[in-house]
Amino acid sequence: MNVKHLVSDLCRNPAHTKWIAPLFVLGDAFLCALIIWKIPYTEIDWTTYMQQIALYLAGERDYTLIKGDTGPLVYPAAHVYNYAALYHVTDEGRDILFGQILFAVLYLVTLVAVMACYRQSGAPPYLFPLLVLSKRLHSVFVLRLFNDGLAACAMWVAILLFLNRKWTAGVVVWSTGVAVKMTLLLLAPAIAVVTVLSLSVVPSIRLGVVALLVQVLLAIPFLQGNATGYVARAFELTRQFMFKWTVNWRFVGEEWFLSKQFSGALLALHLCLLVVFAATRWLEPSGSSLPAFIRNLLQGRQRTVLLPKSFTMTAMLTSLAIGLLCARSLHYQFFAYLSWATPFLLWRARFHPIIIYVIWGLQEWAWNVYPSTNLSSSVVVFSLAVQVLGVLLNSKSALRKEHVQ
């Protein structure tokens, strides 16, 4: 019985994460080194990134004229600056091994931020193995050198800053991440709700202005070259999706996948889920219904709330998961955002640890099937739906079940 109690305490007591987390980080550092040493690098976008950066460094500032072998530059300005730095330190992109080492460091920095978020949110130790075991996640960072690793790092550092109520710094880091890849815009609804609950409307609007200013300041060289071209390319909302690359909705068939009706249905579902979460989960700390909350805001009577860290992190990650669930096409590199969010969301949905491990395993399997199949894409959507609906249906009131931190 004593051994059973010891094992249970070791797996469930968040106090143990203080010493468990560093051990996992150290072990993952060795795993990253082993992957770089033993598994061949896979060329996908790195060469194109370097070709585009070469044009930028040669003086080109018109986004519509910056291209590479696999297509035009379609990411915002911070992507350009980050890969320009990588261009210089990797001998114009030729020293791929050093680039992999740098991305392994980026991976470990992000992992440290993720584990800090988990620790501060009271997550149990049994979740931590799931943070270091993903084959696809290691591949995205150290074998493909995708910019999603940079954006994911910015996302988790921003979440960590928000948990510690460093609002301005959090918004600056988050907005900089958006300027690497606009996937991070999926967090915007939760950020808006959390800041309004914590600070009230006017300070939240100021933070929104800060986020916008970050985008403008980073983009100035390209706005001067061709402002319309920059916005159209870097934040293209009408991009055509190719059915052959989709990871998630392949099982609906190509005709339906490419249809405007399907796109509209997903957008409607996205908006409905955001409204439902806002009304039933995200506004719980205010003690008001959605109509009453809006009325109090307009009348300037809404009181601020000191939010539990676990509540803040849950709101951020459910906003992300909702967006990924309702995205028409996810590519393999999008797993950089989802992988570390999944264990926490499944835990917040109050699933048994065995169920958490099973769903995590199914999701990991599905994201490693290449090319995707009807079955694997169904599992991708299913696992995301379980995370979103699990939190919606099974999480308890933050005010009733958690202490304000």
* Structure confidence by residue, pLDDT tens digits, 224-274: 989 999 999 888 776 667 788 899 999 999 999 999 999 999 999 999 999
- For residue range 294-317, list pLDDT tens digits in order: 887 777 777 888 999 999 999 999
Check: CB of residue 376 under 8 Å from CB of residue 150.
no
- How far lies 346's CA from each of 142, 388, 390, in Å? 27, 9, 7
Domain boundaries, the chain: 12-401
81 burial (CB, 10 Å; 0-12 / 13-18 / 19+) is middle
Cα(177)–Cα(156) distance, integer angstroms = 10
Interval 325-352 mean pLDDT: 96
Q: How confident is the model at residue 401 (pLDDT cuts 50, 70, 90)?
A: low
Unique residue bearing structure tokens 């926490």: 344
pLDDT at 1: 53
Closest CA relative to residue 337, chosen from 166, 194, 159: 159
Residue 403 has pLDDT above 50, yes or no: no
Global model pTM greater than 0.85: yes
pLDDT, tens digit, 9 for 90 and up, residues 170-221? 999 999 999 999 999 999 999 999 999 999 899 999 999 999 999 999 999 9
pLDDT, tens only, 101-156: 999 999 999 999 999 999 999 999 999 999 999 999 999 999 999 999 999 999 99
Task: Report yes or no: 121 and 21 within 8 Å, Cβ to Cβ.
Answer: no
Backbone angles phi, psi at 67, to 5 degrees: -140, 170
* Six-digit token string for 183: 């996937």
The sign one gets for the Cα dihedral 306, 310, 313, 316 is negative
- Nearest CA to 241 among 232, 231, 254? 254
Q: How far is CA 156 from CA 160, 200, 205, 252, in A?
A: 6, 24, 22, 32
Per-residue model confidence (pLDDT) at position 304: 85
Q: What's the confidence (pLDDT) of residue 396?
A: 62
Residue with tokens 């690497």: 180
CA distance 236 to 81: 19
